[in-house]
Amino acid sequence: MYYVIASGKKKSKIGQNVLEEVENYLTEKKVKFETHISEYKGHSVELAKECSSKKDCDAIIAVGGDGTFFEVLNGMNTKVPLGLIPAGTGNDLARTLNIHFDVKENIDNILNNEPKYIDYLTLGKMRAFNIIGTGFDLQLLKKEIELRAKYNSRQSYQKALLKTILFYKTYKIKFRIDDGEEQSKEVFMVDCCNGIWAGGMMPMCLDADIEDGYIDFIYVEKFPRIVLLSQLLKFQKKGLLTLKYTHRIKCKKVHIEIEPQLETELDGEIYDLFPGTVEVVHNDLRYFPSSRLPVDPMTYIKTKKSRKESL
């Protein structure tokens, strides 16, 4: 039995259309499945826990965006394989894994391909696929959430970005890599990357490998405010690792403390979890991979056309 878990956001026409296509194709293939619709924030966590605990569960199929994938990851029994059907706006995880919007292709991959291991990150009891971090990106996310009720997604992001640029703060962090010596830095932002993208196609770590068993621990040191705009533009065009003030360390775990206290972003969701230790979990969770050849991440950010195309 395949258990389908889908976002129930009424405003998401994409999600509704994709789910309908998923159900129609599974029916056409004469596959036994059961659909569960999340009705509130955190509901997919409960559904994933319930469905993956059933003895007849062959796999969980998550239909939605990064938020749905995040909730399913945090609820499911990781011994059950996971199928991913992108139906969101950012689709950062799907882009990292080269999973496209072709529903029939994705279903065929789930039914016919052998599952393979994918890494995920943990912070306390929470899990994340793409990123765990804080700093400028967290401040931007909080302001963007505040503006979503008044503006569409593009306008809310642009206005939030402007406000964040004008009023952002830097933070002092203490971190310890793989039980090494404690280090202290004043930073613009700090992120533990597992995937390539975050925040809806922001190129966080273009050469990250979501299956290598390592965290890409990245911090951007404090820099003169006058160069912020130029650094952000370079970040969007060439990736975070190209910035002069960026440092990257590959590790298995990192303990982080931050002053003043600031919340944490996990795949676009906000929690109050620092101080804490971020760890990578390797060879525990399996997913059904795409049959397509990997795409160079730079192809997604070189042209305006690629930015407009979902996948």
Beta-strand pair 215-221/82-86: unpaired
Report the alpha-carbon distance of residue 87 to residue 18 in Å, rounded.
6
Flag whether pLDDT at 46 surpasses 90.
Answer: yes
Give the least confident one: 39-43, 107-111, 162-166, 175-179: 162-166
Contact 48, 60 (CB under 8 A): yes
Domain ranges of the chain: 2-115+288-308, 130-281
Q: Is the pLDDT of residue 114 over 60?
A: yes
According to the model, what pLDDT value does residue 303 have?
A: 61
The rounded Cα 209 to chain-centroid distance in angstroms is: 14
Residue 252 Rama label (left phi>0; alpha psi -120 to 50; beta): alpha
pLDDT tens digits, one per residue of 62-108: 999 999 999 999 999 999 999 999 998 889 999 999 999 999 999 99
Q: Report DSSP letters for 34-87, one per residue.
A: EEEE--STTHHHHHHHHHHTSTT--EEEEEESHHHHHHHHHHS-TTS-EEEEE-
Indicate the angle between helix axes 136-147 and 153-167, nearest 10 degrees: 130
Size of the chain, expressed as the number of residues it contains:
311
More confidently predicted of 263 and 90: 263
Q: 23 φ, ψ to 5°? A: -65, -40
Question: Which candidate, 268, 267, 2, places its Cα nearest to that of 115?
Answer: 2
Q: Under a CB-based contact definition with an 8 Å cutoff, are residues 205 and 193 in contact? A: yes
* More confident call, 126 vs 167: 126
Residue 11's pLDDT is what? 53
Written as six digits, the tokens of 198 are: 């975050």
Identify the pLDDT of residue 300: 79
**CATH code for 2-115+288-308?**
3.40.50.10330
C-alpha torsion 303→305→308→311, nearest 10: -90
- Torsion (CA) 274, 188, 239, 122 in degrees, nearest 10: 0
Q: Which CATH number applies to 130-281?
A: 2.60.200.40
As a whole-number percent, the residues of the chain with pLDDT over 70 amount to 96
